[in-house]
Amino acid sequence: MTQITGEETVDVFGPDSMLRRLVNDARWGLAVSRATVLEAAHPQIGTALIENSTFVTYPWRRLRNTLVSMQRILDLDHHVRDREIARLNRLHARISGTDPQGRGYDAMDAAARAWVVATLFESTVTMYRLSGESLSGPALEQLYAEFRAFLVLLEGNSDQLPATSREFWPYYDDMIDHHLENTEAVRVILYRLFANVPAPPLLRNHPAVWAAGRAVAGPVAAAITIASLPESFCRRVALPDLPGTRAIMHGAYLTAGFATRLLPNSWVRVDSIMSLLDPDHTSGSGPWGTVRRKADQAAAMLRLLTPAPDKVNHTTRSADQFFAEVLDQTGDGYLAWPDLAAMAREIATRLDLDEQDEERLYNAHAAWWRELQAGLDTDGDGRVTRQEYAASAVSLPSLGLVKVADVLFDVTDIDDDQAIDVQEYQRLFRTAFHRDLTGRADSYSRSAFVRQFLSFMSGQQHSTAYDSLLS
């Protein structure tokens, strides 16, 4: 995104961009979490989140994808930016519907998308203020100009946002006072997501440790988020004002601010934090990567000293278990098109597919959904219950699933040599190459790839690779 000043062409997302620095600052997570609640209170956005998003069932996946997308949009290479914006717009163009009150929603609605950008800007300003770094006039104007430029990338214009930061605040207050609601998405984020967030990949093998930490951290995180929200918003949606929470919230923001200013930059970058939480996010370099490796070594030593429990056969899943862990991507208890669309969306995002390959992938998933709906939706309500799936899934022909497997192989096989090599495998699964599944030492044949995909998607066999992708 460029602005022309006199005879100079200035890239607002160049090396001096505030937004580019923020997207790599772990502290910005506080602002993004806060903004997400305000976004979810918008009726259109809230309904789209509940009906189409996997943010409740797979929050770490959603966090990682959001981070990658933001980094692409703010990349210094304009081709990378343009490609990601086109991908996001294609993704959003597929999300529309009607809420329980009969009101339509559309992820491409210009006013709703402007509100997303507005909440990020206001929450960022609030983050600086609560961290003890109130923005000066020029810095505030620069930040606002960059967020408006961000909206231009998405929409082609910034008409839905006021021209200056001074004019922004009346717009923001009007949205808070007259347009937001206590949506289901707001309640889910504050009272279900924080309380039930699944363990990050690093801690999935330590459920007791995660559960103990979450029991304390979940309510505290929700309380901090609520205490940071505008008082008028909290009154409007009837959020509680618990004694002491504002002091805890101020302490959390100030601590984050001090950490950002005092610790080495490599310690507080988002990539460093994500590498600590998610071993597949990076190669594990940096200070927190070292900490993680030491923790892994300690855990391995503990396992050697602890009697091993009786082994359980995890090679197969029951239909009921497979439904809950893999198929129900949105976590609403049903299988419907948004669940399969979420699978296609995750694969397309990981592989950064172009429009043609992305369309092939969505069409294959749509054909699979039509097959599932025709064979399993016994009451004709447009969705499949867990009971309907468990009763009839094994009898399906699964021709649609075979098509999905073929297309997935094609879009993963970048060099079209009819084999998935180590780099292509890593790009899709973000995990090590499993040579024992290939029949060859250096590649993965189409038949082996399709065979394992069908075994996993039919619930017949666990797969570390496909679990990391879809469950």
pLDDT digits (tens, 9 = 90+) for 337-352: 999 999 999 999 999 9
In this structure, are strands 334-335 and 384-385 parallel, antiparallel, or unpaired?
antiparallel
Residue 136 CB neighbour total at 10 angstroms = 9
Give the whole-angstrom CA distance, residue 263 versus residue 260. Answer: 6
Percent of the chain with pLDDT over 90: 49
> In the chain, which residues fall in CATH 1.10.238.10?
319-470
CB contact set of 214 (below 8 Å; sequence gap of 6+): 195, 196, 197
Residues 275 and 282: beta-carbon distance below 8 Å: yes
User: Nearest 5 degrees, angle CA 360-CA 361-CA 364?
Assistant: 85
The whole-model pTM stands at 0.84
- Strand 334-335 to 104-106 pairing: unpaired
pLDDT at residue 240 is higher than 60: yes
| More confidently predicted of 214 and 458 | 214
According to CATH, the topology of domain 319-470 is Recoverin; domain 1 (1.10.238)
Question: How many CB atoms are located within 10 Å of the residue 82 CB?
Answer: 14
Helices (H), 41-136: 43-52, 59-73, 78-93, 110-130
Mean pLDDT of the chain: 85
The predicted structure's pLDDT at residue 65: 86
Can you read off the two tokens belonging to residue 301?
């030593």
Which carries the bigger pLDDT value, residue 202 or residue 330? 330
Mean pLDDT of 396-402: 83
- Please name which of 394, 398, 343, 406 lies closest in space to residue 371, comparing C-alpha atoms: 398
CB contact set of 84 (below 8 Å; sequence gap of 6+): 69, 72, 73, 75
Is the distance from CB of 146 to CB of 18 less than 8 angstroms? yes
Q: Give the chain's radius of gyration (CA, Å).
A: 23
Q: Is pLDDT larger for residue 92 or for residue 267?
A: 92
For residue 262, pLDDT over 90 is answered with no
DSSP class per residue in 389-402:
HHHHGGG---HHHH
pLDDT, one tens digit per residue, over 290-336 is: 555 555 555 444 445 554 444 444 456 678 888 888 999 998 899 99
Q: How many CB atoms within 10 Å of residue 375?
A: 18
